[in-house]
């Protein structure tokens, strides 16, 4: 997979998920260790706020900061641990955005709800407005 990604000039990201979703890779450290074992620049990991909030032993912003600093994280997904959009639960987003800003992260940030409450377009609008507002409050 890493060779195919490199041949097509893309980066493939390994996504650690919660223990409810998989018994395979549950922490960013586990995904980063797999990336290191394979040793290809075309293979990195990603940070999923919902999964990290359910699985990581340390505060998620500390986990993200550590793995951004090592160059492992190439993609970020924001969502709430309740599987709704960011801002639709009690998972703090501002500390994660602060880490991204302070690290000079310039990669993709995706909003990834699974429960589109109250309906898909309203969920997208509310999630986008929440993240934009939280980002602007940092500056």
CB 45 within 8 A of CB 28: yes
Q: Which one from 15, 21, 61, 136 is the annotated catalytic residue?
A: 15
Q: Are strands 12-14 and 43-48 parallel, antiparallel or unpaired?
A: parallel
- For residue 117, how many other CB atoms are within 10 A of its CB? 15
CB 54 within 8 A of CB 18: yes
Whether 112 sits among the annotated catalytic residues: the reply is yes
Helix (H, G, I), strand (E, B) or coil at 136: helix
Whether 3 sits among the annotated catalytic residues: the reply is no
Q: Which one from 61, 112, 119, 136 is the annotated catalytic residue?
A: 112
Token pair 């880490």 in the structure block, residue:
99
Q: Which residues are catalytic?
A: 15, 112
């Amino acid at each position: 997979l890493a060779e195919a990604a490199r041949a097509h000039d893309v980066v493939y990201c390994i996504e650690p998920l919660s223990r409810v979703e998989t018994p395979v890779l549950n922490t960013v450290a586990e995904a980063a260790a797999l990336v290191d074992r394979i040793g290809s620049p075309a293979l990195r990991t990603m940070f999923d706020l919902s999964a990290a909030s359910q699985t990581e032993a340390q505060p998620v912003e500390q986990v993200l900061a550590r793995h951004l600093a090592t160059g492992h994280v190439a993609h970020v997904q924001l969502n709430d641990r309740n599987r709704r959009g960011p801002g639709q639960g009690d998972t703090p987003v501002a500390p994660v955005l602060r880490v991204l800003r302070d690290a000079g992260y310039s990669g993709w940030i995706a909003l990834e709800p699974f429960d589109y409450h109250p309906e898909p377009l309203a969920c997208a609008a509310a999630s986008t407005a929440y993240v934009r507002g939280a980002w602007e409050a940092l500056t």
